Structure 1
Amino acid sequence: MSPQRIAIAFRAACRAELDALKVGNVHRFAAGHGMEVAHFEQAAEAAAPYIAASGVHVGARIEAAVTASLAVAGLNTNLGILLLCAPLAAAAERNELERAGTLHGALTLVLARLDMSDAEATFRAIAAASPGGLGQHPEHDVAAPPRIDLIEAMALAAERDRIARQYVTNFADVFELGLPRLNELADAAPEARTEAVHLAYLAAFPDSHIVRKFGLSIAEEVQQEARRIAAEVDFRAPAAERHPPLLAFDSALKARGLNPGTSADLTVATLFAAMLEGWLSP
């Protein structure tokens, strides 16, 4: 894919995520956590050309996109999205796809080539975004120059951070959970498919962002509630039927300050991957 098409797909994935009622997150049906939809739109627009920059290292894409996003939004709205989408964008370039045959195969090649320069740039990006927990480890901290490569750093964080985990599992959650759920609902409305993917992630594991801020037990409570809601909602039904239970859950989470941001980031990555693979239109 050309850089222009990759950038279009990235912007479209970010917009599609905002158009859906993703419980506990910022979306067009309700703001939350001191953020508005406009913050995310501005950040996506600013980040897109850097995420899609042809031939550029993954770490450099992440750092440039974070810098551009912070400049326009004034706060961290999309670090997780950028960490997930930069490797996918690199995998979608024509030479990678021709070599591997599939996006997932190309992603394997991209991740295998990550080096110390990727770690250095990514550490600087994470430190600039100040996400509150990601990258802190007794021996390796993003505030200091890295002594290990990016995959090793992500492996250290993988047990406590689901985004880091994607780097050491070849994005297993995206390709084995998110994309299959999206495909199951091919006959549903676009917003409903996004809502279903987000809730599938939230129901599958404790959200890392909630774990970092509130602890594992609270995150597990949210996970159990997400499982209950996911079983009740018919995602092929019109919004008038889908949205009441989702809005009630959304309000309850926001009233407690609970933001399942990792599930939202994985949802954007899923939509982006589907667009890069060509079976979801930007």
Structure 2
Amino acid sequence: MRLQKGEETSSLVQQCAILAVLLEVSGYPKPGNVHRIRDMPKTRYEHFLAGAVAIGPSIKDAALLGYQVASGEIKVKKANVGRLILRAVKDTKNFQSGENINLGTVFLFVPLAVAAGMTLFDGRVMVGELRRAVRMVMENTTTDDTLAVYEAIGIANPGGLGNVEKYDVTDELSKSLINKDGVVLQDVFKISAGWDNISKEWVTGMEITFEVGYPTFLKVYRKSGDVNVATVHTFLEIISKYPDSLIQRKMSREKAVEVSREAGHILKEGGLLKETGKVLCWKLDEELNGFKGRLNPGTTADLTASSIFVALLEGFRF
């Protein structure tokens, strides 16, 4: 196997990341989310297209740092995960005027990009090696990474965060406490992993992405030959098994579980592969978008994007 040159590696990882975001947001109907024929009042489909492009430079740099780790030039703790997440969020904010576009996606894509830079040989990764590398990246962050991520969250201003007892992202005193206690990103994500699926990914080596989303995407594509069907089914499979974190934070655990149950029912009826499932999918999309305050399963969209990203890194093409 051949370890590609750093520029080749980082460019390919960047292309895969941008395409993954574009495919995820284009998938329709992803119930409750923006898609190619569904906008939100302040955030349109085009904002997500711009956001996909905006994260490209950060993803490319993340992959290049991963390459430098693999070639022995730097230690994995020097991958600057937090700084790259912050840069991606700033670039996204400066490149479009929608609301929080891809904070959760960036939380997943940056460590994946570093890991891809560490494991990309002959134009593709082996998924098992990629997952081992992403665990290594996620387990070797620094206090500076944590502070940068807190700044990124402040800029993105995601809704429904709530409050926690210690290291609360909305509390300015948290920054000095993080420095004092030497808090790394794993420490923070362990606190919230019980109710937030992005945090859960950080403490499980991306269990949802690698064990549910990625295999579902490939399986459904092989069956249907349709990228859109594979994308929507991946979304439905994830949310049917993992109630969406954003719905839980903005509404309630009960409502999130209800939506998961409906997604599971759609899949049992064939999803987009059968007319009954297709009708039910469109119906749920209408219901969630018509609900007061909107029920937006944004975390599930992030996990769908990371699942497609892994497939593309492995060599999936259509």
Using the size of structure 1 for normalisation, the TM-score is: 0.92
Deviation at 1:33, TM superposition (A): 5.0
AA aligned to 1:76 is N
Deviation at 1:18, TM superposition (A): 1.9
1:214-251, Cα deviation, whole Å (9 max, x unpaired): 011111111111111111124445xx776432211101
Structure with max Cα Rg: 2
Matched, 1:14 2:21: yes
AA aligned to 2:234 is V
AA aligned to 1:6 is V
Matched, 1:30 2:38: yes
Q: Report the Cα distance in structure 2 between the residues aligned to 1:110 and 1:135, rounded to whole angstroms.
A: 28
Question: Cα 1:133–1:252, aligned 2, differ >3 Å: closer, same or farther?
Answer: closer
1:105-139, Cα deviation, whole Å (9 max, x unpaired): 11122112111121111111011111134484211
- Which consecutive aligned stretches of 4+ in structure 1 deviate over 6 angstroms post-superposition? none
Q: How many residues align?
A: 278
Deviation at 1:187, TM superposition (A): 3.0
Superposition CA RMSD, Å? 2.1
> Which has the higher mean CA deviation after the structures are superposed, 206-215 or 48-57?
48-57
Q: Report the Cα distance in structure 2 between the residues aligned to 1:109 and 1:60, rounded to whole angstroms.
A: 17
Deviation at 1:258, TM superposition (A): 0.5
Alignment of structure 1 residues 240-259 onto 2, 5 Å: 243-256=278-291, 257-259=294-296
Which residue is 1:119 aligned to? 146
Alignment of structure 1 residues 184-263 onto 2, 5 Å: 184-185=219-220, 186-188=222-224, 189-236=226-273, 243-256=278-291, 257-263=294-300
Q: Report the Cα distance in structure 1 between the residues aligned to 2:200 and 2:161, rounded to whole angstroms.
A: 12
Name the SS of the counterpart of 2:158 in structure 1: coil
**Contact kept in structure 2, 1:178 and 1:197, CA below 8 Å:** yes
Matched, 1:83 2:107: yes
Matched, 1:68 2:91: yes
Correspondent of 1:2 among 9, 12, 19: 9
Which residue is 2:68 aligned to? none
Which residue is 1:106 aligned to? 133
Percent identical among aligned pairs is 31
Which residue is 1:57 aligned to? 80
> Which has the higher mean CA deviation after the structures are superposed, 11-20 or 27-36?
27-36
**Contact kept in structure 2, 1:233 and 1:245, CA below 8 Å:** no
Question: Cα 1:178–1:5, aligned 2, differ >3 Å: closer, same or farther?
Answer: same
Which residue is 1:178 aligned to? 213
Matched, 1:267 2:307: no
Alignment of structure 1 residues 160-175 onto 2, 5 Å: 160-175=195-210
Q: Report the Cα distance in structure 1 between the residues aligned to 2:204 and 2:160, rounded to whole angstroms.
A: 21
Q: Report the Cα distance in structure 2 between the residues aligned to 1:28 and 1:204, rounded to whole angstroms.
A: 25
AA aligned to 2:149 is T
**Contact kept in structure 1, 2:272 and 2:278, CA below 8 Å:** no
**Contact kept in structure 2, 1:163 and 1:262, CA below 8 Å:** yes
